[in-house]
Amino acid sequence: MWCHADENHTGDDSDTLSPAGADLLPADTSMDAVTLHVADLPGMTAYYRDAIALSVLRAEGGTVVLGRGTTPLVVLQHTPGLPVPGRGQAGLFHTAILFAHRAALAAVVASAVRVAPTTYVGAADHLVSLAFYFTDPEGNGVELYIDRAREQWTWVDGELQMASLPLDARAYLSEHLTDDQTATTGAVVGHVHLQVGDIARAQEFYVDALGFERTTGWHASALFVSAGGYHHHMAMNTWNSFGAGPRAATIGLGAVSIVVPAREEIMALTDRPAALSDPGGRRRGRHQLRGSLEEPDPGDPEPLTSPRVTARRSRSTGSASSKAPTPNPSIVTTPRGG
């Protein structure tokens, strides 16, 4: 299922609706692999394999899928000829990879710093998590992090308390880096952070239409949303991109994947934009969910380098796909089964 926000938004955002409880995404919604359009496929593959310590799970034509264990985390699609995005364009802020154990996180941070030291950006204690930041060779942000236990999170008046406090990377590595440098425990895409042109419009789409819940914000320049009370599955900010309009086709973000429990949830998503109409039927803007759900033809010869978005129904049972007319960022919703 391919869903995207129509950037040609019109209308007043001041009185947008919040989703009713029945329209919220299921509590066990999660994120799937992020697709990146890349200019240098060998170089980007080497970075995510050697520095970020991901394994190549599949390499076919111009597409390389990397992950941990059997879980895909990053899909690289060779898309030659596209320009580099401008700093102020809408797009990817970072892909955040979540680790279950501090030793595993330490091992990957140490690997990245050793193999590609110039890509290290910094580290922060966010109260709900500990995070280390990198920028890949083509300018895409990468966050490596671990969560604190939910019992340690603090909510005040419905807002989750988050911050960006100093985190001593050397001290973290000294405490948690073990002799087992492989630390091959699994990891997942914990959240995806985007840079957008307008926070109100982002909330209208990700909260009012898709059904995420707002968890917190930051001075009207950032929005954090999640399902099931997580600190955030997605975030949007305007720190570099305030006022950005529709994004031109560039290297960088290709698709964001959201995993929901069942096919019925995907079908329901196509009806949710109706909630953005007032009782008189007036649309509050023109954000839309658009897409189709179909089983792919296993004999389809079309190479994966084309602007194509594919979503798995589950890790082992079929898939759903749709084709985008241009390699602009899109959102894929994936049912786990059923």
Calpha distance 37→338 (Å, rounded): 31
Q: 221-275 pLDDT, tens per residue?
A: 999 999 999 999 999 999 999 999 888 889 999 999 999 888 877 777 766 654 4
Of 103, 79, 85, 70, which is closest to residue 178 (Cα–Cα)?
A: 103
Of 6, 36, 22, which is closest to residue 290 (Cα–Cα)?
A: 6
Choose the weakest-confidence range: 51-55, 94-98, 296-300.
Answer: 296-300
User: In terms of pLDDT, which residue wins out, 17 or 249?
Assistant: 249
User: In terms of pLDDT, which residue wins out, 245 or 2?
Assistant: 245
Give all domains of the chain, ordered by start, each with its CATH number: 2-337 (3.10.180.10)
Q: Strand 308-312 and strand 319-323: pairing?
A: antiparallel
Q: At residue 116, what are phi and psi to the nearest 5 degrees?
A: -140, 70
Choose the weakest-confidence range: 98-112, 138-152, 283-297.
Answer: 283-297
Q: Look at residue 304 in the predicted model and tell me its pLDDT.
A: 30
CA-to-CA dists, residue 124 to 47, 129, 148, 167, 331, angstroms: 23, 8, 13, 5, 28
The mean per-residue pLDDT over the stretch 23-28 comes to 90
The mean per-residue pLDDT over the stretch 34-62 comes to 97
Inter-helix orientation angle 102-115/169-176, to 10°? 120
CA-to-CA dists, residue 188 to 82, 216, 241, angstroms: 29, 22, 27
Q: Provide the pLDDT confidence category of residue 297 given band limits of 50, 70 and 90.
A: very low
Q: Provide the pLDDT confidence category of residue 308 given band limits of 50, 70 and 90.
A: very low
pLDDT above 80 (res 288)? no
Q: Look at residue 317 in the predicted model and tell me its pLDDT.
A: 30
What's the predicted TM-score (pTM) here?
0.80
pLDDT above 50 (res 320)? no
Q: 65-93 pLDDT, tens per residue?
A: 999 999 999 999 999 999 999 889 999 99
Of 239, 235, 223, which is closest to residue 96 (Cα–Cα)?
A: 235
Q: Look at residue 310 in the predicted model and tell me its pLDDT.
A: 29
Of all residues in the chain, the percent with pLDDT exceeding 90 is 62
